[in-house]
Amino acid sequence: MSQPTDVPVYEGSCQCGAVRFTARTGLEAPFQCNCSRCRRLNAVMHSVPEDDFTLLSGNETLSIYTFNSHTIAHQFCTQCGIQPFAAGSDREGNTIHVINVHCLKEPRYDKNAISHFNGADF
Ligand SMILES: [Zn+2]
């Protein structure tokens, strides 16, 4: 068991740097999704609770795209087009941010731990 102080805080950004954020997470449950959007992005995602996510800059530069059930706010930078994260809810209704691991600075995670989420049939 790790203590809360052991959890790293990652810096993340879009490509151009307008959107910057931090995520406090151990990246223990990365996943890839096969929905019509994630398949195109080829992103590795990871969910973090709202309290562990901080948007540092770029709120005015972000645009939101939704589709299907419109329950997930896919947020992308209107300058460079990169989607650093999405916002949604977990099964209990708590707000979560689903971060694009590839947008983090030097993410450390086990690629063999990447699970596959069947978002295409969601
Ligand atoms: Zn950008």
Distance in Å, CA 21 to ligand 1 centroid = 12
- Topology (CATH) of 7-121: 2.170.150
Strand order in the sheet with 20-24: 9-13, 20-24, 53-57
Percent share of the chain, pLDDT over 70: 96
Distance in Å, CA 77 to ligand 1 centroid = 5
Cα 4 from Cα 1, distance rounded (Å): 9
Q: Which residues contact 4 (CB under 8 A, 6 or more apart)?
A: none
pLDDT tier at 120, thresholds 50, 70, 90: confident
Distance in Å, CA 25 to ligand 1 centroid = 23
Distance in Å, CA 91 to ligand 1 centroid = 30
* Cβ density class 45-74: b for 16+ within 10 Å, e for less: bbbbeeebbebeebeebbeeeeeeeeebbb
Cα 47 from Cα 65, distance rounded (Å): 18
The pocket of ion ligand 1, defined by CB under 5 A, consists of 14, 16, 18, 77, 79-80
Distance in Å, CA 76 to ligand 1 centroid = 8
Predicted confidence (pLDDT) per residue in 39-68, tens digit = 999 999 999 999 999 999 999 999 999 998
Predicted confidence (pLDDT) per residue in 88-117, tens digit = 998 899 999 999 999 999 999 999 999 999
**What is the pairing mode between strands 53-57 and 85-89?**
unpaired
pLDDT tier at 119, thresholds 50, 70, 90: confident
Predicted confidence (pLDDT) per residue in 35-46, tens digit = 999 999 999 999
Q: How many CB atoms lie under 10 A from the CB of residue 101?
A: 20
